[in-house]
Amino acid sequence: MMPFPATRLRRLRGSGTFRGLIRETDLSPAHLIMPAFVTAGEDIREEIPSMPGIERYSISKLVEHAAEVAAAGIGSMLLFGIPADKDEFGTGAYDDEGIVQMAVRALKEAHPDLAVITDVCLCEYTSHGHCGIPDPDGKIQNDLSVELIAKTAISHAEAGADAVAPSDMMDGRVGAIRYQLDEEGHSEVPIISYSVKYASAFYGPFRVAAESTPSFGDRRGYQMDPANGAEAVREAEQDLEEGADMLIVKPATPYLDIVRRVKDATGAPVAAYHVGGEYSSLKAAAEKGWLDERAAVLETLTGIRRAGADAIITYYAKEAAEWLQ
């Protein structure tokens, strides 16, 4: 027989104590961000068919949900708005009395220690479902869209948002938002930028939840090609130069290599967004009895952390936090 080496890596795997001592990656509720959908109306708490266990909330019900999230040990929520009406220019996005703006004020009054991050985009508010404003030929106009996106970010900051998260993927929007925030007296409000957002098939459940499926074309003209990696680093570095404080890679599990590349290249704080399709896939498999949901989810989230994510945006945040506790 070939002699074994003196070092046997299994020796420190024999007990939970030793496994804990040498564990390289930790996962705690502090690493998780809970996304939430707030909708116009009263006394609404309705389940989203494409995302079992996730609901749309009216403002009063959202405040109740936020108490549950905070009790689980989660310190922040990412807020998406679903307005009563939509139009071509997404005016509900930057209305001072819009659904997100009112929700932010209510959340901060009820839960001042909970960090409220707002998704800054037009897609939930436009009648056509795109993240920007199309020209007569259907092409999304970058600079006009950026102007309205920056206006949206300012309205969120004025309402009391702790951070703004532009998700549109228009060029130059981080710089425009940073300039406007500073000019309007919000220099302390950080920008958590969706710097690396791929044109992914995993967004389907979210589009049902947010009622934001494009009525024509698709978003490949401004979201990234899933085949590209080096471009992700360029996007991240450009956003940092424009004033981003934290970077988001979206989706998460199909792009763990990108999370690592962005983290290594920039050294900046990085969040990974474990999106609706990733969440719903695990839910569906668990409901079929094909996997142990708790074990699979915690393994998935640990893998995202191991890839380099400082934070994870996930619809499993509340459940995972409760399991971890």
Distance CA 129, CA 90 (A): 9
Helix and strand numbers, DSSP H then E, in the chain: 11, 12
pLDDT for residue 3 is more than 80: no
- Report the distance separating Cα 78 and Cα 76, nearest Å: 7
Sign for the CA dihedral angle at 237, 268, 256, 321 comes to negative
- Are the beta carbons of 193 and 257 closer than 8 angstroms? no
Weakest-pLDDT range from 25-34, 104-113, 133-142, 149-158: 133-142
Active site residue 151: no
In angstroms, the CA 239 to CA 272 distance is 16
87 in helix, strand or coil?
strand
For position 211, what pLDDT does the model report?
A: 76
The two tokens of residue 290 are 């094909």
Residue 192's pLDDT is: 98
Structure tokens given for 271 = 């969040």
Amino acid 210: pLDDT: 76
Does residue 89 register a pLDDT over 80?
Answer: yes
Phi, psi dihedral angles at 263 (to 5 degrees)? -60, -45
User: For the chain, what percent of residues have pLDDT higher than 70?
Assistant: 99
Find out whether 107 and 70 touch, Cβ atoms under 8 Å.
no
Check if the beta carbon of residue 199 is closer than 8 Å to that of residue 224: yes
Q: Which residue has the tokens 């962005």?
A: 262
pLDDT over 90 at 5, yes or no: no
Which of 203-212, 272-281, 294-303 is predicted least confidently?
A: 203-212
Indicate the average pLDDT of the chain: 95
Provide CATH code, domain 27-324: 3.20.20.70
Catalytic residue among 86, 108, 151, 197: 197
* Dihedral over Cα of 174, 194, 141, 157: its sign: negative
CA 293 – CA 265 distance, rounded (Å): 34
Residue 250 catalytic? yes
The pTM score is: 0.95
pLDDT of amino acid 6: 81
- Per the model's pLDDT, the better-predicted residue between 162 and 204 turns out to be 162
pLDDT of the residue at 215: 81
The DSSP secondary structure of 203-237, one letter per residue, reads: GHHHHHHHT---SSS-STTTSBPTT-SHHHHHHHH
Active-site hit among 61, 86, 250, 283:
250
Three-class SS state of 54: coil
pLDDT (tens digit per residue) in 17-62: 999 999 999 999 999 999 999 999 999 999 999 999 999 999 999 9
User: Rounded to the nearest 10 degrees, what angle do helices 293-306 and 256-266 cross at?
Assistant: 30
CA–CA–CA angle 112, 117, 120 (5° rounding):
140
Q: What CA–CA distance (Å, rounded) separates 73 from 9?
A: 35
Q: Is the pLDDT of residue 207 over 90?
A: no
* CA–CA distance, 71 with 321 (Å, rounded to integer): 10
Q: Where are the domains of the chain?
A: 27-324
**For residues 133 and 122, is the Cβ–Cβ distance under 8 A?**
yes
User: What DSSP state is assigned to residue 310?
Assistant: S
Which pLDDT band holds residue 1 (cuts at 50, 70, 90)?
A: low
Which residue type is seen at 6? A
211 vs 57, residue with greater confidence: 57
ω before 214 within 30° of 0 (cis)?
A: no
Degrees to nearest 5, angle at CA 69 with 86 and 325: 150
Highest mean pLDDT among 128-142, 202-216, 282-296: 282-296
